[in-house]
Amino acid sequence: MSGRTPDAAVFAVNHQDWEDVTFLHWDYDVDVVQGLLPSPLRAQSWEGRSFVGVTPFRMARVRLPWMPAIPQWRAFPELNIRTYVTGPGGRDGIWFLGMVVSRRSFATVLRMLGLPYLTSDSDVSRLGNAVNYRFGAPGLAGSGSGDWFTATTHFGAALPEDERTSLIDSLTGRWSAFHRRAGLLWRTPVEHEPWPLYRASVVGSLTAPLRWVGLPEPEGPPLVHASPGVHTRLGSLRPA
């Protein structure tokens, strides 16, 4: 189940590092989010609201166990639009509404596994305690003109324990990712150390990814957290 620490050890078939991560979360009516989900997934809710996250970061050192990083996948920007679901048997996890990367080869391979990757002209850079993100409009063949998502995140102090609520740990600590392939629902198990979370502030053009996946413009500012990153182990996909 979701939370600060993994719910099970994973026999890894792939390693990835997720660096300079910003978590942006908006709440929506449960029925609005449910309308974007395939059966049998159900939107999770907290006090009658469901959350959708926009998460830009740097994917780094994608590799097989005991192998060096694949050279062309050593580091590149990624942005996910994700929501939080309960699957068959009551297991909770993530459903990706959209996924954007700058590496066409990576997107092609992962689309074959049922993940909704598209490509974008994008970059992520860090200067001191500020991380800058830029993503062009996504597409199968690459990015169109203009900036689609831009953000500058300023890292603050480490998130104190009294602000690290069960909601925050549940939104960030997800140990299963669901996806559809060949008409079936699949699950990929995930394991990594607890997220080191920081207070953060963000400015930029943030909401185009939400509209892109079919959500209305959110009514207020996002809940914002940031992390320098984690070292991630992914297991083999299995029927959900």
* CA angle (101 as vertex; 122, 123 as ends), nearest 5: 20
Rounded CA gap, 215 and 201, in Å? 23
CB atoms within 10 A of CB 166: 11
Q: Indicate the pLDDT class of residue 68, thresholds 50, 70 and 90.
A: confident
Strand partners, 188: 177
Q: Please tell me the predicted confidence (pLDDT) of residue 67.
A: 86
Say whether 96 sits in a helix, a strand or coil. Answer: strand
Q: Indicate the pLDDT class of residue 70, thresholds 50, 70 and 90.
A: confident
Residue 216: exposure state from Cβ atoms within 10 A (0-12, 13-18, ≥19): exposed
Q: Is residue 75 within 8 Å of 59, Cβ to Cβ?
A: yes
Rounded CA gap, 17 and 29, in Å? 33
Rounded CA gap, 123 and 135, in Å? 7
Rounded CA gap, 116 and 108, in Å? 10
Q: State which amino acid sits at residue 175.
A: W
* Pick from 41, 81, 17: nearest CA to 234: 17
* CA angle (231 as vertex; 237, 173 as ends), nearest 5: 70
CA 184 to chain centre: 22
Rounded CA gap, 37 and 207, in Å? 20
Rounded CA gap, 4 and 2, in Å? 7
Backbone dihedral region for residue 27 (phi beyond 0: left; psi -120 to 50: alpha; all else: beta): beta
Rounded CA gap, 206 and 212, in Å? 12
Rounded CA gap, 18 and 75, in Å? 10
Q: What domains can be seen in the chain, in order of their start residue?
A: 14-235 (2.40.400.10)
Q: Please tell me the predicted confidence (pLDDT) of residue 69.
A: 81
12 phi and psi, to 5 degrees? -75, 135
Q: Please tell me the predicted confidence (pLDDT) of residue 166.
A: 96
Q: Please tell me the predicted confidence (pLDDT) of residue 57.
A: 98
Q: Indicate the pLDDT class of residue 141, thresholds 50, 70 and 90.
A: low
* Pick from 76, 58, 63, 70: nearest CA to 13: 63
Please compute Rg for the chain using Cα positions: 17
Q: Indicate the pLDDT class of residue 145, thresholds 50, 70 and 90.
A: low
Which pTM value belongs to this model? 0.96
Q: Indicate the pLDDT class of residue 168, thresholds 50, 70 and 90.
A: very high
Question: Considering only 13-22, 134-143, 189-198, 204-213, which range has the smallest mean pLDDT?
Answer: 134-143
